Amino acid sequence: MKTLIYGNDVKDDFPVVVDSVLKQMIFNVLDNALEASPDRLSMTVQTDNEHLRIRVEDDGPGFPAHILGAIGEPYQSTKDRPGRGLGLFLSVNVSRALGGSLKAHNRKERGASVEVVLPLSAIVIEEAMNNDS
């Protein structure tokens, strides 16, 4: 049984657009961590005045150097199954399309860390925010 550690550091509650593409991006990052990690993974969500940050960390073996150097390119995978290597590629492109970024690195102690940063201006539903005032 694996453990998910969730940290919520969101400063204010606000409505956001959550379409299937955005959900799939987050699921792709979580799914990769789940497959890589033998025991646990963590997800931390935080905001500042301008950005939403989602960081997923695992205790797996980390990314091989050739994968880290090619994050955002299609078909970069260590899995020997067809269609693999598209999850992070699609996630990088969704984050870029929204004006954000996706960065990955290996953790010093063990495992990998993937951080998605999205501008709040791209995902907050302004009409709902204005109606609450």
Q: What is the CATH number of the domain that holds 55?
A: 3.30.565.10
Q: How many angstroms separate the CA atoms of 67 and 49, rounded?
A: 32
What are the tens digits of pLDDT across the range 38-63? 889 999 999 998 999 999 999 999 98
The 10 Å CB-count burial string (b at 16+, else e) for 12-46 is eebeeeeeeebeebbebbbebbeebbeeebbbebe
Q: Phi first, then psi: what are they for 74, rounded to 5°?
A: -70, 155
Alpha helix (H) ranges present in 37-71?
65-68
The number of residues in the chain equals: 133
Q: How many angstroms separate the CA atoms of 36 and 57, rounded?
A: 10
Q: How many angstroms separate the CA atoms of 43 and 56, rounded?
A: 4
Quote the number of domains for the chain: 1
What global pTM score does this model have? 0.83
Which domain does 85 fall in, by range?
3-132
What are the tens digits of pLDDT across the range 1-16? 789 999 999 988 888 8
